[in-house]
Amino acid sequence: MNPEPIFDLAHLAHVELLTPKLEESTRFFVDVLGMSESDRAGDSVYLRGWDDYEHHSLQLTASPQPGLGHYAFRASSAQALQRRVAALEEAGYGKGWKKDNIGHGPAYCFTDPDGHNLEIYYETEWYKPPEHLRPALKNQASRYPDHGIGLRRIDHINLLASDVRATRIFMQELLGMRLTEQIIFDDGSEKASWLTATNKSYDVAIAEDWTGTRGRLHHITYAVDSREAILRAADICLEHNVFMETGPHKHAIQQTFFLYVYEPGGNRFEIANAGARLILAPDWKPIIWSEAERKKGQAWGLPTIPSFHEHGTPPVEAADATPDA
């Protein structure tokens, strides 16, 4: 018998994004993307999409450079949290507990092999909407927004890593995530991997950092309900003079319908259609895309935009970079 799948991660919970322009980034996420502000404390602003059930799913933190502060998973139970912490400690990736957190209980801090900061926790604060954000239907977390793009919920994070393979194996072995798709080049090198802890087809993606730098961010993604909502998002971005890097279009890999923009702090941000695609098979066989297949570009023929292999945060001097299309 094969080993059983592990269900200790409940879902991607939040991302801390660093921004050199905290106010402008906040205005962008609230006014253009339609998120709501839950809290402010220290150098951070806490935000959420209208159907995120926790206190926040995005923490913006003032910083000289854009990039990733940390990201966090919620465990599926108190016991599951203990199991993951034990495994991480034993493997030597643990950094210890952070007790005093805004919006959730004690979090265990650790890093992946590439140096990205992660946290895992179980106890959380369910969002309680104020009167003006109370929804008409009580089975949604807060009011459906009547302004801006109206992001529904956090969807996934896309990391840049100097070593995709090592980070991917860490995700599988230490966190129990399941591999759904990969790009493997002809020389056997692993260029990108997509992993999930849920029925979504991915919660984390890892792509090779062409500069060889460790611990950087490619983008984070929030979900809206339909492809039409993404076309509308593009219309709204156009009116707000938001830089649209590429899209709306459909990825061949994972079939995500996407629009990529840059937020004012410089981080890449994706608006995606969560759609109906789910991975329900518990023994899903990872889809492998070859070098030749990747060269074909996006699903309907749009070439992959070169800046996808040139822009990450924080920015680095790409002197020794060997980008590949």
Residues within window 255-274 making contact with a copy of itself, judged by CB under 8 A: 255, 257, 259, 273-274
Segment contacting a copy of itself by CB under 8 A, of 22-30, 36-44, 102-110, 229-237: 229-237
Segment contacting a copy of itself by CB under 8 A, of 19-27, 39-47, 205-213, 238-246: 238-246
* CA dist list (Å): 213 to 12, 154, 249, 312, 325: 24, 26, 29, 10, 18
Distance CA 38, CA 128 (A): 10
Query: Residues 74 to 133: which contact a copy of itself by CB under 8 A?
Result: 74-80
Cα 134 to chain centroid, rounded? 27
Q: In the 8-state DSSP scheme, what is residue 171?
A: H
Please select the residue that binds a copy of itself; options are 131, 188, 276, 320, rule is CB under 8 A: 276
The residue among 25 and 273 lying less far from a copy of itself, judged by its C-beta, is 273
Task: Establish if 292 lies at the interface with a copy of itself (CB under 8 A).
Answer: no
Q: How far is the CB of 77 from a copy of itself (least distance, A)?
A: 4
> Residue 107: how many CB atoms within 10 A of its CB?
25
Please select the residue that binds a copy of itself; options are 106, 129, 135, 315, rule is CB under 8 A: 135
Task: Establish if 61 lies at the interface with a copy of itself (CB under 8 A).
Answer: no
The residue among 51 and 119 lying less far from a copy of itself, judged by its C-beta, is 51
Distance CA 17, CA 262 (A): 13
Task: Establish if 199 lies at the interface with a copy of itself (CB under 8 A).
Answer: yes
Please select the residue that binds a copy of itself; options are 105, 106, 129, 275, rule is CB under 8 A: 275
Q: How far is the CB of 17 from a copy of itself (least distance, A)?
A: 20
- What amino acid is encoded at 135 in this protein? P
Which letter, b or e, does each residue of 1-11 get, where b requires 16 or more Cβ atoms within 10 Å of its Cβ?
eeeeebebbbb
Task: Establish if 295 lies at the interface with a copy of itself (CB under 8 A).
Answer: no
Task: Establish if 304 lies at the interface with a copy of itself (CB under 8 A).
Answer: no
Q: Is 83 exposed, middle or buried (0-12, 13-18, 19+ CB in 10 A)?
A: middle
Task: Establish if 300 lies at the interface with a copy of itself (CB under 8 A).
Answer: yes
Distance CA 60, CA 26 (A): 7
Task: Establish if 27 lies at the interface with a copy of itself (CB under 8 A).
Answer: no
Q: How far is the CB of 183 from a copy of itself (least distance, A)?
A: 12
Please select the residue that binds a copy of itself; options are 96, 226, 295, 325, rule is CB under 8 A: 226
Please select the residue that binds a copy of itself; options are 55, 249, 268, 309, rule is CB under 8 A: 249
Q: How far is the CB of 224 from a copy of itself (least distance, A)?
A: 7
Task: Establish if 325 lies at the interface with a copy of itself (CB under 8 A).
Answer: no
Distance CA 200, CA 188 (A): 27
The residue among 85 and 234 lying less far from a copy of itself, judged by its C-beta, is 234
Q: Tell me the β-bridge partners of 269.
A: 220, 261
Segment contacting a copy of itself by CB under 8 A, of 36-44, 70-78, 185-193, 208-216: 70-78
Q: Among 59, 26, 9, which residue's Cα sits nearest to residue 199?
A: 9
> DSSP labels for 54-95?
BS-SEEEEE-SS-EEEEEEEEESSHHHHHHHHHHHHHHT-EE
Task: Establish if 30 lies at the interface with a copy of itself (CB under 8 A).
Answer: no
| Residue 173: its H or E element | helix 164-175
Are residues 91 and 174 in contact, defined by beta-carbon separation less than 8 angstroms? yes
The residue among 1 and 319 lying less far from a copy of itself, judged by its C-beta, is 1
